[in-house]
């Protein structure tokens, strides 16, 4: 960790336990327009920008009676309501953020989620003040697994990508960070922990609390 000069967090599944809430919001959103949508369907597109998720399922189901933008808006509104009502920080996230702050390491946030959702999460878990840079891929040209969102965050932090450490929970996020030539700590949930593709990460740990031991 001696060469690490900044730490960049993913958001969903890393800072906040939002993955179950995402699935609830997506299922409700698709069910509202008459599409039978399951928990397993939700898991197939973890880590991808939601507008790309919507395009994928619109094509898959040949949906034509509603515009993708309308479904996108409805699902995000459902999700924001759930975050305000039930959102909880991931175990160890507050301690890790405070630990990094005490070591005077610049902290960034790079997420596939929208600006509205990012704002809702940072407000809910009261952590905006820790971040020198917060970047959403919503309006970038590319989403994860492309590295653009991480490179943009590193640029705003003023740190060379090779000196950045990324904390991710998804395979797509790990691929994105490695493509940006950054070090990556993967902290997958129990369901995906044994996915062999996490071998791409520099570290695979059980919890955010374990990251503190690296510094």
Q: What is the pLDDT of residue 186?
A: 98
Same domain (yes/no): 73, 175: no
- Residue 1 falls inside a structural domain: no
User: The domain containing residue 108 runs over which residues?
Assistant: 6-16+88-212
Calpha distance 159→5 (Å, rounded): 7
Q: Which residues are catalytic?
A: 10, 12
Distance CA 34, CA 119 (A): 30
How many domains, in total, are found in the chain?
2
Last residue in a domain, options 53, 86, 119: 86
Q: Are residues 54 and 92 in the same domain?
A: no
From first to last of its 215 residues, the chain has per-residue pLDDT tens of 789 999 999 999 999 998 899 889 989 988 988 888 888 888 888 767 788 888 888 888 888 888 888 888 888 999 999 999 999 999 999 999 999 999 999 999 999 999 999 999 999 999 999 999 999 999 999 999 999 999 999 999 999 999 999 999 999 999 999 999 999 999 999 888 999 999 999 999 999 999 999 98
Q: How far apart are CA 44 and CA 41, in angstroms?
A: 5
pLDDT at 19: 86
126 and 176, same domain (yes or no): yes
What pLDDT score does 39 carry? Answer: 87
HSE-CB for 176 with a 13 A CA cutoff: 31
Q: 121 with 11: CB under 8 angstroms?
A: yes
Q: Same domain for 141 and 42? A: no
> Residue 41 has what pLDDT?
86
Q: Are residues 204 and 106 in the same domain?
A: yes
pTM over 0.85: yes
Q: What is the CATH number of the domain that holds 158?
A: 3.40.50.1000
């Amino acid at each position: 960790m001696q060469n690490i000069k900044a730490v960049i967090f993913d958001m969903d599944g890393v800072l906040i336990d939002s993955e179950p809430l995402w699935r609830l919001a997506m299922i409700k959103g698709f069910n509202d327009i008459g599409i039978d949508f399951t928990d397993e369907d939700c898991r197939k597109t973890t880590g991808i920008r939601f507008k790309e998720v919507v395009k994928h399922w619109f094509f898959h189901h040949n949906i034509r009676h509603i515009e993708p933008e309308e479904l996108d808006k409805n699902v995000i509104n459902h999700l924001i309501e759930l975050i305000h009502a039930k959102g909880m920080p991931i175990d160890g996230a507050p301690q890790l953020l405070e630990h990094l702050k005490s070591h005077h390491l610049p902290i960034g946030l790079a997420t596939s989620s929208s600006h509205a959702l990012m704002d809702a999460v940072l407000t809910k878990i009261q952590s905006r003040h820790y971040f020198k840079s917060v970047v959403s891929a919503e309006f970038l040209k590319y989403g994860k697994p492309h590295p653009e969102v991480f490179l943009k965050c590193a640029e705003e932090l003023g740190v060379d990508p090779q000196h950045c450490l990324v904390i991710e929970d998804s395979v797509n996020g790990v691929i994105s960070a490695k493509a940006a030539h950054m070090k990556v700590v993967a902290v997958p949930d129990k369901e995906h922990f044994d996915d062999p593709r996490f071998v791409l990460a520099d570290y695979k740990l059980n919890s955010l609390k374990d990251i503190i031991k690296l510094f």
